[in-house]
Amino acid sequence: MELFVQSVISGILLGGLYAAIGVGLSLVFGIMGLTNIAHGSLMILASFFIMILSQQATGSVILSLILTLAIMAAISGLAQGFLVNRVLDKGAEPALLVTFGIAIIIQNALQLAFGADFKSIASPFASINVVNSKWVVITGEYLLNFIISVAVIFALHFIVRKTWFGRSIRAASSSVVAAELMGINTKRTYVLTMSLATMTGCIGGLLVGQTFGFYSYSGMSYLIIAFGVVVIGGMGSIVGTLLGGVILGVAQLLGAYFFGSGVQILIGYLTLLVILTLRPRGLLSNMTRK
């Protein structure tokens, strides 16, 4: 029974992190109808930047994260402006293929530069137990991951709902023609949206880098987690990703509890299939694309 409670609690905390991984994917899909295959690889690229900067330049993870946010916002914004935007009005598939290409370029560049060794980012909270009772143990790292992820999601929710930039994003997603007529430069909005989404991915990259570690090809496995989260929560729903993350996290750890850790990933995606069967658009899909 203790292990059951532990599994649920850990699943919820893990789910928060999953949501931080998925929310950028959801945002980009909701706004421009683009399935960004490069999301996971951009995230891992950020993990490498944070690791290198903190080890060799700044000595501080926080400072390295801030620098990485700026670098990744620039890289992803340029990729959107010069590559994805050019094919976006030719339908969903060409743009998807472009992001697939970007993912492969990032993976191979990382492979060339760093090899296939497993890396991680040092975490000061890894060994601290915040709660240590008979029923449940919560590590500082998992708790902090959860808190940061929830903060990221609510910050993003606030930006999209309450700021002029957020309104321009929603307007562009609702009707490009009408948005342009309001004076919104929708291509520029897409660039900023991609930068914003990738910045959430940077925070995801920091957290997975500290918690699980990564190597040059990790992007694709995190992309699959992000897909799971976003599909369960509802494509385009920001708060839905939090729900999707928690469901996926709990399903995986309960799967491990009942059937053994070898099948936990399988159980997670079986849950995904069940939810997709019952709610094909995801649980909280509120944005509709035309």
Partner 1 sequence: MNDSALLSIEGLSVSYGDFLALHDVTMQFPKGRIISIIGSNGAGKSTLLRTVMGVTKPTSGHVIFSNEDITGLQTSKIVAKGLSMSPEGSYVFEDMSVHENLMMGAYLPSHRKNMDSLLERSYELFPVLKEKSKQLATFLSGGQRQMLAIARALMSEPKLLICDEISLGLAPVVIGDIYDRILDVNDSGVTIVLVEQEVKRSLEYSDFSYVLVKGRVVMQGKADELDEGAVRDAYFGINQFA
Q: In angstroms, how far is CA 203 from the centroid of its own chain?
A: 8
Considering only residues 29 through 88, tell me which ones interact with partner 1, judged by CB under 8 A. Answer: none
200 is written with which tokens? 């959430």
**Nearest alpha carbon to residue 99 among 116, 115, 85, 114:** 85
Considering only residues 168 through 187, tell me which ones interact with partner 1, judged by CB under 8 A. Answer: 168, 170-171, 174-175, 177-185
111 or 185: whose CB is closer to partner 1? 185
Give the count of residues interacting with partner 1 (CB under 8 A). Answer: 19
Q: From the CB of 278, what's the least distance to partner 1, in Å?
A: 24
For residue 220, CA distances in Å to 3, 63, 68, 216 come to: 31, 27, 20, 10
What binding mask, one character per residue, do residues 200-219 give for partner 1 by CB under 8 A, x or -?
A: --------------------
Q: From the CB of 178, what's the least distance to partner 1, in Å?
A: 4
Q: Burial, 117: exposed, middle or buried (Cβ in 10 Å; 0-12, 13-18, 19+)?
A: exposed
- Side-chain half-sphere CA neighbours of 159 within 13 A: 15
For residue 68, CA distances in Å to 43, 99, 164, 225 come to: 11, 20, 25, 22
132 or 288: whose CB is closer to partner 1? 288
185 or 261: whose CB is closer to partner 1? 185
Question: ∠ CA(94), CA(95), CA(98), 5° rounding?
Answer: 90
CA 102, 248, 233, 161 torsion: positive or negative? negative
Q: From the CB of 287, what's the least distance to partner 1, in Å?
A: 6
261 or 288: whose CB is closer to partner 1? 288
Q: From the CB of 163, what's the least distance to partner 1, in Å?
A: 12
Question: Which amino acid type is present at position 199?
Answer: M
Considering only residues 119 through 178, tell me which ones interact with partner 1, judged by CB under 8 A. Answer: 164, 167-168, 170-171, 174-175, 177-178
262 touches partner 1 (CB under 8 A):
no
Q: From the CB of 117, what's the least distance to partner 1, in Å?
A: 46
33 is written with which tokens? 């109808």
Interface with partner 1 by CB under 8 A: which range of 17-25, 205-213, 240-248, 281-289? 281-289
The owner of tokens 């995986």 is 252
What backbone phi and psi angles, to 5 degrees, belong to 119?
-120, 165
Q: From the CB of 167, what's the least distance to partner 1, in Å?
A: 6
180 or 281: whose CB is closer to partner 1? 180
Q: From the CB of 26, what's the least distance to partner 1, in Å?
A: 15
**Nearest alpha carbon to residue 212 among 7, 6, 14:** 14
The binding site for partner 1 (CB under 8 A) comprises 164, 167-168, 170-171, 174-175, 177-185, 286-288
